[in-house]
Amino acid sequence: MLCVGLDPDPTKMPVAFRECSDIEAVQDFCSAIGKAVAPFACAFKPNLAFFEALGPEGWHALKEVLDALPDDRLVILDAKRGDIGNTADKYAHAFYDKLGGDAITVAPYMGRDSITPFLQDEERCAFVLAATSNASAAEVQQLQVDGEPVYRRVARMAVDAGKEQPGTVGLVVGATKPEQLAELRVEFPQTPFLVPGIGAQGGNIDEVLLANASGPMLVNSSRSILYASGGTDYIEAAAASARALAIELSV
Amino acid sequence: MLCVGLDPDPTKMPVAFRECSDIEAVQDFCSAIGKAVAPFACAFKPNLAFFEALGPEGWHALKEVLDALPDDRLVILDAKRGDIGNTADKYAHAFYDKLGGDAITVAPYMGRDSITPFLQDEERCAFVLAATSNASAAEVQQLQVDGEPVYRRVARMAVDAGKEQPGTVGLVVGATKPEQLAELRVEFPQTPFLVPGIGAQGGNIDEVLLANASGPMLVNSSRSILYASGGTDYIEAAAASARALAIELSV
């Protein structure tokens, strides 16, 4: 169930990377982490912002990182794109065809026009933001519409958009609000959930497992694995952190 | 008031580009259009999807296109990014510092955490999606919360997020729903609006001008200028289309 988020921030990297250029550091760090945690993870989630922050070379670095990850692990491109039909088609092409991602995260504010272009390939999956783990999410997602929150309406719209292509729609549901996760799991027992917010963001694993019951779920952790140690033992520390989390998740 | 959207799609380009690689076509077409319409436009809005669809080389092409645009025109990077604090910081760095954009479009679903990182520089502006021009936007944006639509709540949140830094927040309001534009203009008389949806999407200029009253506004047109002609006269046709639109907007 473990998904390892790749949010490579040169300012947080172990001492071994202090002398490298940012591009080298990002590529080498991600590749090393990828190898170290692969035995414990079924998926990787590169966060596009950390690559784009490197400028135009960042997308090349991302491609290098993707090529170095084990072939049999899922790659979820955390891009949170959300735009209308013809533009969304271009994003789908960029992330599925050009980068070879298995899944992408999608923002729902523009309605289903911005989701359906990502559902054309039954081998791929769009994880649509429903209830996210950050504090200010409530300002939009918890607005009440006829007695229920916006995030439930959004989740229903997303799942409905994928009803002709089972398995192509998942939901992003933050670990920091297990009661929302439980509520969505009751309504959508078979929908894959991507659950960020464990670790640095404060989500509790036992609460998440209880809330999820037995639905399909990927639990993401980024910083607490990537930056488990800033010293020369960063590879062992990342592997140990991933292993511990994988064990907790499999109980 | 005219903003020209750069949505370079190799499959729609004039005959002169049929023999080029996609990267060359995108760069050369955008540069030619940029020069041709500059006398009539105060801003350009490159749509990131069309560059990302080219793969990792696409960001280099975007940088080349940006470098070739006239220095004294605003560049609004239509990226619709929307993510939490530390990730949004990285996007702000990517778009403001690395690409040199003057403004960016931002998606609001994750609340103000995803907006404020773009408001740290008073020379830059984040245009937050409020009421977009596409048909399915209503599924989220027009849900009713205590008797008013979600897009009004979102607009209020966005404007409030920027209240300490006047001029750093704008709103995206589609031309296809002039009644929504009028309503938002009454509530936010001084907020810059970015108005897409004129031309190919069916928005009516006179209705938009009437609805906007005298607020600050940029009206975007993309396809009807870029692809005004598929023949050898594409540069003259684009210029003529931009000129006609600029005249309509200045009446």
Q: What is the structure's pLDDT at A246? A: 97
Fold of A82-218: TIM Barrel (3.20.20)
For residue B3, give the nearest of B76, B80, B69 by alpha carbon. Answer: B76
Q: Which tokens sit at B5?
A: 């959207």
**In this complex, which of A49, A99, A136 lies closest to B91 when CB atoms are compared?**
A49
**Residue A125 confidence class, pLDDT cut points 50, 70, 90:** very high
Residues of A in contact with B56 (CB under 8 A): 59-60, 62-63, 98
A170 vs A83, A103, A196, CA distance in Å? 18, 9, 13
Mention every residue, 6+ apart, whose C-beta is less than 8 A from residue B34: B4, B6, B44, B65, B68, B69, B70
Q: What CATH number is given for B2-250 in this structure?
A: 3.20.20.70
pLDDT of A85 above 90: no
**In this complex, which of A85, A109, A145 lies closest to B129 when CB atoms are compared?**
A109
Say if the Cβ atoms of B82 and A114 lie within 8 Å: no
Mention every residue, 6+ apart, whose C-beta is less than 8 A from residue A47: A5, A6, A7, A78, A222, B83, B87
How wide is the angle at C-alpha B117 spanned by C-alphas B77 and A143, nearest 5°? 95
**Residue A166 confidence class, pLDDT cut points 50, 70, 90:** confident
Sign, CA torsion B96/B99/B104/B108: negative
Shortest distance between the Cα of A184 and any Cα of chain B, in A, equals: 18
How far, in Å, CA of A28 to CA of A32, rounded? 6
With an 8 Å Cβ cutoff, is A112 touching chain B?
Answer: yes
Residues of B in contact with A53 (CB under 8 A): 90-91, 93-94, 98
Q: What is the structure's pLDDT at B202? A: 85
How far, in Å, CA of B107 to CA of B118, rounded? 12
Selected residue of B84, B96, B127, B128 to mutate for chain A interface (largest A Cβ count, 10 A): B84
Sign, CA torsion B129/B171/A132/B77: positive
What is the identity of the amino acid at A151?
Y
Specify the residue for token string 């959207």.
Answer: B5
Q: Which tokens sit at B6?
A: 């750069």
Query: H or E segment at A76?
Result: strand A74-81
HSE, CB side, 13 Å, CA atoms: give it for residue B185. Answer: 22
Q: What is the structure's pLDDT at A199? A: 78
Mention every residue, 6+ apart, whose C-beta is less than 8 A from residue A37: A4, A225, A238, A239, A242
| SS3 call for A197 | coil
Mention every residue, 6+ apart, whose C-beta is less than 8 A from residue B131: B137, B141, B149, B151, B155, B172, B173, B174, B177, B180, B181, B184
Q: What is the structure's pLDDT at A202? A: 85
Q: Would you write out chain B's pLDDT as a tens digit for each of its 251 residues?
A: 999 999 999 999 999 999 999 999 999 999 999 999 999 999 999 999 999 999 999 999 999 999 999 999 999 999 999 999 899 999 999 999 999 999 999 999 999 999 999 999 999 999 999 999 999 999 999 999 999 999 999 999 999 999 999 899 999 999 999 999 999 999 999 999 999 999 778 889 999 999 999 999 999 999 999 999 999 999 999 999 999 999 999 97
Across chain A, mean pLDDT equals 96
How far, in Å, CA of B122 to CA of B167, rounded? 7
Q: Given A80, A90, A98, A177, which residue is catalytic?
A: A80
Q: What is the structure's pLDDT at A227? A: 97
Domain-wise residue ranges, chain B? 2-250
Q: What is the structure's pLDDT at B251? A: 77
**Residue A87 confidence class, pLDDT cut points 50, 70, 90:** very high
Give chain A's end-to-end CA distance (angstroms, integer).
Answer: 11
Q: CB pairs below 8 Å between A and B: how many? A: 193
Q: What is the structure's pLDDT at B199? A: 78
pLDDT tens per residue, range A19-51:
999 999 999 999 999 999 999 999 999 999 999
Q: What is the structure's pLDDT at B17? A: 95
Q: What is the structure's pLDDT at A251? A: 77
Say if the Cβ atoms of B150 and A143 lie within 8 Å: yes
Determine the residue of chain B that is closest to A91 in CA distance. Answer: B49
Shortest distance between the Cα of A12 and any Cα of chain B, in A, equals: 12
With an 8 Å Cβ cutoff, is B27 touching chain A?
Answer: no
Q: Which tokens sit at A142?
A: 């918890």
Other beta carbons less than 10 A from residue A31's beta carbon:
15
| SS3 call for A218 | strand
Q: What is the structure's pLDDT at B182? A: 98
How far, in Å, CA of B16 to CA of A241, rounded? 56
Query: CA-CA-CA-CA torsion for B154, B157, B162, B164, nearest 10 degrees?
Result: 170
Q: Which tokens sit at A188?
A: 């959508």
**Ramachandran region of residue B199, left (φ > 0), alpha (ψ -120 to 50) or beta?**
left
What is the identity of the amino acid at A8?
P
pLDDT tens per residue, range A196-237:
999 778 889 999 999 999 999 999 999 999 999 999 999 999
Say if the Cβ atoms of A112 and B139 lie within 8 Å: yes
B180 vs A143, A160, B92, B193, CA distance in Å? 20, 27, 29, 12
How far, in Å, CA of B96 to CA of B133, rounded? 26
Q: What is the structure's pLDDT at B201? A: 80
Q: Which residues of A3-17 are buried (b: 16+ CB within 10 A; e: fewer)?
A: bbbbbbbbeebbebb
**In this complex, which of A50, A91, A150 lies closest to B52 when CB atoms are compared?**
A91
> Are the C-beta atoms of B234 and B16 separated by less than 8 Å?
yes
Stretch 116-175 of chain B: residues touching chain A, C-beta under 8 Å? 129, 132-141, 143-146, 150, 153-154, 157
**CATH architecture label of A1-77+222-251:** Alpha-Beta Barrel (3.20)
How far, in Å, CA of A89 to CA of A75, rounded? 19
Shortest distance between the Cα of A210 and any Cα of chain B, in A, equals: 25
| SS3 call for A130 | strand
> Are the C-beta atoms of B248 and B43 separated by less than 8 Å?
no
Sign, CA torsion A169/A144/B134/B82: negative
pLDDT tens per residue, range A131-157:
999 999 999 999 999 999 999 999 999
